[in-house]
Amino acid sequence: MLRLDPAPGTANGRVLVFLPGFMSAAASYRMLLEPLTAHGISVVVPQLYRRGPAVLAGRFTVEDEARAAAALVRGEAGGRGDRTVVLGGHSRGGQAAWRAANLLAADTPAAGASSGDVPRAGASSGDAPGADGSSGDAPGAGLLPAALVLVDPVDGAGRRPDVPTATAEPVVFTCPCLVIGAGIPGRCAPEPVNHRQFAAAAPDARHVVVDSIGHGDVLDDRPAATARRLCGGAPDPAPGRAAVTALLTDFVLTTHPMS
């Protein structure tokens, strides 16, 4: 898990829980998300499954990830009225965030579990969300999440998805949603299951396409180099990544709890 906190005394009660893309390390999002802490925003990037062959074989599905993420959001809210929790994700993490928002809006228990016993493939209980003793059952003040932000999300199932699944299901959540799309197309986010599907299906969406990024350009430099070989990208990913950071910052800062 990557946890980024504002300087002491500067936190404003806003928390962004951001789900990594499929098989991406939580630490790969530091350059994208660390600037948010300068604005008083706390950031949590969980590693909800152990990356490896078991996950590639489908042992930890996007539905499993959504249930774990829903429990984590409940734990971050912790029944406190002074926290505004925004849920987000990149790539398959965006789909998992979408599914988790539906679970939370329906007030569906995450497989009957609290955040302390969320299923996590190949992980020890000490690494699971809520292992610090926080409860996943308290909904906090207002609806969870307060908002949803998706960075070049990918719908569908399997390693080469081509049919929408999450966005084809009924949408329960009503919270505001920011959908950020990559303007440089690539095989990692094909047209039938890309950001446009989520923007069209969300009940309250702001849809922004950043022309200067490819699917993997939001990652830190070294993992981005690998992702760009698979997914394509801009000659220089830094300006596009900074643009996405600015969009995230503005969106989280202007989000207010829903009641």
What would the DSSP string read from start to end of 145-163? SSEEEEES---SSSSS--S
Query: Is 177 a member of any domain?
Result: yes
Structural domain includes residue 37: yes
C-beta separation of 54 from 121 below 8 A: yes
* CB burial string 113-138: b at 16+ within 10 A, e below: bbbbbbbbbebeeeebbbbeebebeb
- Count, in order, helices (H) and strands (E) of the chain: 7, 7
On whether residue 259 sits in a domain, the answer given is: no
| 97 in any annotated domain | yes
What CATH code is carried by the domain that includes residue 17? 3.40.50.1820
Look at residue 40 and tell me if it is in a domain: yes
- Domain span including residue 82: 2-6+13-253
Distance (Å, whole) CA 151 – CA 158: 19
Averaged over 103-120, what is the pLDDT?
A: 53
User: Is the Cβ–Cβ distance between 74 and 17 less than 8 Å?
Assistant: no
Report, as an integer, the average pLDDT of 171-193: 94
For the chain, the domain total comes to 1
Over residues 50-83, the pLDDT tens digits come to 877 777 666 779 999 999 999 999 999 986 667 8
pLDDT tens for 19-39 read: 999 889 999 999 999 999 999
Q: pLDDT, tens digit, for every residue of 133-145?
A: 333 333 334 689 9
Q: Residues 70, 107: contact at Cβ < 8 Å?
A: no
What does each C-alpha distance from 234 to 1, 31, 66, 154, 229 come to in angstroms?
28, 17, 30, 19, 11
